[in-house]
Structure 1
Amino acid sequence: MLLLIGLFFGLLIVGAPVAFAIGISGFSFFIISQVMPASIGVQQVASASQSFPLLAVPFFVLAGHMMNKTGITTRLIRCSEVLVSWMSGGMAQVCIVLSTLMGGVSGSAVADAAMEARILGPDLVRNGYSKGFTAATIAVGSLITATIPPSLGLILYGFVGNVSIGRLFLAGVIPGLMMMAGLMFTVWVVSRKRGYRSATVTRPSWSAVGSAVWDAKWALFFPVALLVSIRSGMFTPSEVGAFAVVYAIVVGVLFHRELTWQGAMEALLHGVIDNGLIVLIIMFSGMVGYAIIFDQAPQAIAQGMLGLTQSPTAILFLIVVFLLIAGCFIEATVLVLLLTPIFLPIVLQLGVDPVHFGIVMMTMVTFGGMTPPVGVAMFTVCGLLDCSIDEYLVEALPHIATILILVAILIFFPQISLFLPNLLM
Structure 2
Amino acid sequence: MSGILIAAIAVLFVALLIRVPVFIALLAGTAVYFFGAGQANPLLLIQRFTSGMESIPLLAVPFFVCAGVFMNYAGITDRIMVFCAALTASIWGGLAQVNILLSTLMGGMSGSSLADAAMTAKMLVPQMERRGMSKAYSTVVTAFSSTITPLIPPGIGMIIYGSTANVSIGQLFMGGISVGLLTCVTMMMLTAWIARRRGYAPLKTTAEYEPVPLGRAFMHALLPLFMPVVVLGGIRAGIFTPTEAGAVAVVYALALGLYYRELSGAKLSQCLKETVLTTAVIMLIVGAASALAWVLTRERVPQALTEWMVEAVANKYVFLIIVNIFLLVVGMFIEGNAAMIVLVPLLVPIARAFGIDDIHFAFVFIFNLAIGAITPPMGTLMFVTCGITGCRIREFLAESVPYFAQLLFVLLLITFVPQVSTLLVDILHP
1:349 is aligned to 353
Deviations 1:163-208 (A, max 9, x none): 1000000001011101011000110111111111122229x99981
Contact 2:172 2:359 in 1 (8 A): yes
Within-5 A mapping of 1:113-152: 113-152=117-156
CA distance in 2, matches of 1:94, 1:180: 11
Q: Tell me, what secondary structure is at the counterpart of 2:19?
A: coil
What letter is aligned with 2:344? Answer: T
Q: Tell me, what secondary structure is at the counterpart of 2:85?
A: helix
What letter is aligned with 2:216? Answer: S
Tell me, which stretches of 5 or more residues in structure 1 are unaligned? none
Tell me, which stretches of 5 or more residues in structure 2 are unaligned? none
CA distance in 2, matches of 1:150, 1:386: 30
2:66 is aligned to 62
2:228 is aligned to 223
Residue 4 of structure 1: how far off its partner (Å): 1.8
Residue 106 of structure 1: how far off its partner (Å): 0.6
2:385 is aligned to 381
What letter is aligned with 2:336? Answer: A
Residue 263 of structure 1: how far off its partner (Å): 0.9
Matched, 1:41 2:45: yes
1:9 is aligned to 13
Residue 154 of structure 1: how far off its partner (Å): 0.3
Deviations 1:383-402 (A, max 9, x none): 11111111111111111111
What letter is aligned with 2:310? Answer: L
TM-score, with length taken from structure 1: 0.96
CA distance in 1, matches of 2:392, 2:329: 22
2:278 is aligned to 274
1:245 is aligned to 250
Runs of 4 or more above 6 Å deviation: 204-207
Matched, 1:214 2:219: yes
CA distance in 2, matches of 1:12, 1:51: 26
1:182 is aligned to 186
CA distance in 1, matches of 2:408, 2:350: 22
Identity fraction in percent: 37
Contact 2:125 2:389 in 1 (8 A): yes
2:375 is aligned to 371
1:77 is aligned to 81
What letter is aligned with 2:72? Answer: N
Matched, 1:424 2:423: no
Contact 1:27 1:287 in 2 (8 A): no
* C-alpha RMSD over aligned residues: 1.8
Deviations 1:286-334 (A, max 9, x none): 1111111111222333344334423112211211111111111111111
Within-5 A mapping of 1:384-423: 384-423=388-427
Q: Tell me, what secondary structure is at the counterpart of 2:203?
A: coil
TM-score, with length taken from structure 2: 0.95
Contact 1:183 1:399 in 2 (8 A): yes
CA distance in 1, matches of 2:39, 2:212: 71
